[in-house]
Structure 1
C-alpha cells in the first residue's frame, strides 16, 4: 500500500515522535526527528524527503475566471459609469499620484478592471455577460443609464434575449440570457 505524505504531514509526524519520545525520557531535537521521519519514508535525509514530498504533492495549475481589462481615459468617469450599473469598487492602484489609475470592480460574478494605462487594451471591447433574468436587469438598468442610452431588448438574438450597454469609452457590455444549459 502506498501512502501519500506531504511535507506538513511529515513535520507533524516528527513533532509527535519528539513528544512521544520525551514522554519516555528520550530527548530529541526537531531536526533529528525530521531525519528519522525521512528515513521511515524511505528517503536518505530530510532535505531529500522535503524536496520530493513537495514535488509529489504539487497540484496541476488550474485556470481561474478571466478578468477583462477595459481601457478608460478617465478612471473616475469609468468608475461612475460602472457604479451606475451596480458595480462596486474592490480596489484601485496608482504607482504615483500623477500616473495612470488601475481599478477593479465587481457585480455578482462579473469582475472588470478599468485601466488608464496606454498599453492596457483598446477602447471598443465587447464583454458577453450571461444573465439569469435579462428582462429584470434591463428594467433595473434602463432608468440608471445616461440620457442618450436607451438600449432595447433584442428578444430573438442568436444567444438568447440580449441588450447592450456602451461605456463612455466605447466598450460594450452585452447582457444575454442564454437558453437553459447553454452558457449561463
Structure 2
C-alpha cells in the first residue's frame, strides 16, 4: 500500500537523479534504472512501471486514487506496440490523443507511455513482456460517425472504417492500429 503521495514520472526521475548523486557522494554507485526502482519501492510500489502507470500525470493533473467501496479504479489497457514513433503517429496524429508521458529505463531501451483523449487512457508498451499484438478494445465515443470521418481524413483514406448502425450496444466502427490492435469505437445506445 502506498504511504506517500505518488510523484509524477518527471518528479520521480528527479528523485532518482538526486538519490544517485547522494549515493555516489557516499561511494555507492547505482544505475539510473536501479535508482528509479528504489524510488518506486519507497512509495510502496513493486517497480518503476507501476509507479509510472499509477503516479499523477503532470500534464493532466493528479490521477485520483481508486474509488468506490472496493478501492478499485478503472482498468488501463496496455497495448503492445513495436515502434513508439509509429504508435505516436497513429494514436496522436490519427486518433487525436495526447502524449502524457513516456518512460525508458535507459536511452535506447523500450518505451512505456501513456496517451489520453477525453476519458480514454491507454498505455503503449514496446516491452516484449507486456502482452501480444492484436488486442481488442471497446471504446465508447460521443459520435462514432464524426470520429470515423476524422480517421478517414487523417489517414488519407487508407483506413475506411464503416459504421455498423445495427451493432450490439450502438453504432460501432472498428479501427486498426499499425500493430494489429483493434479499437471498436461505439456510440452506446441509450
Q: What is the Cα deviation at residue 139 of structure 1?
A: 2.2
Paired position in structure 2 for 1:90: 100
Residues 1:74 and 2:83 are matched in the alignment: yes
TM-score by length of 2: 0.61
Q: What is the Cα deviation at residue 61 of structure 1?
A: 4.5
Paired position in structure 2 for 1:126: 136
Residues 1:112 and 2:122 are matched in the alignment: yes
Q: What is the Cα deviation at residue 136 of structure 1?
A: 2.0
Q: What is the Cα deviation at residue 166 of structure 1?
A: 0.4
C-alpha distance in 2, partners of 1:146/1:65?
Answer: 34
Give the conservation status (yes or no) of the 8 Å contact 2:137–2:184. Answer: yes
Aligned length: 122
TM-score by length of 1: 0.63
C-alpha change, 1:146 and 1:94, in structure 2 (3 Å) is farther
> Bigger shift: 131-140 or 152-161?
131-140
RMSD across aligned positions (CA): 1.5
> Bigger shift: 79-88 or 130-139?
130-139
Structure 1: gaps spanning 5 or more residues: 1-58
- Aligned 1:28-47 pairs, distance under 5 A: none
Q: What is the Cα deviation at residue 65 of structure 1?
A: 1.2
C-alpha distance in 1, partners of 2:140/2:69?
Answer: 28
Match of 1:149 among 146, 156, 159: 159
Paired position in structure 1 for 2:33: none
Find the residue that maps to 1:139 and give its secondary structure: helix
C-alpha distance in 1, partners of 2:167/2:127?
Answer: 34
C-alpha distance in 1, partners of 2:189/2:70?
Answer: 31
Q: What is the Cα deviation at residue 155 of structure 1?
A: 1.1
Find runs of 4+ consecutive structure 1 residues off by over 3 angstroms. none
Give the conservation status (yes or no) of the 8 Å contact 2:78–2:124. Answer: yes
C-alpha distance in 2, partners of 1:97/1:120?
Answer: 19
C-alpha distance in 2, partners of 1:68/1:79?
Answer: 16
Say which one has the larger Rg: 1
Structure 2: gaps spanning 5 or more residues: 1-67
Residues 1:65 and 2:71 are matched in the alignment: no
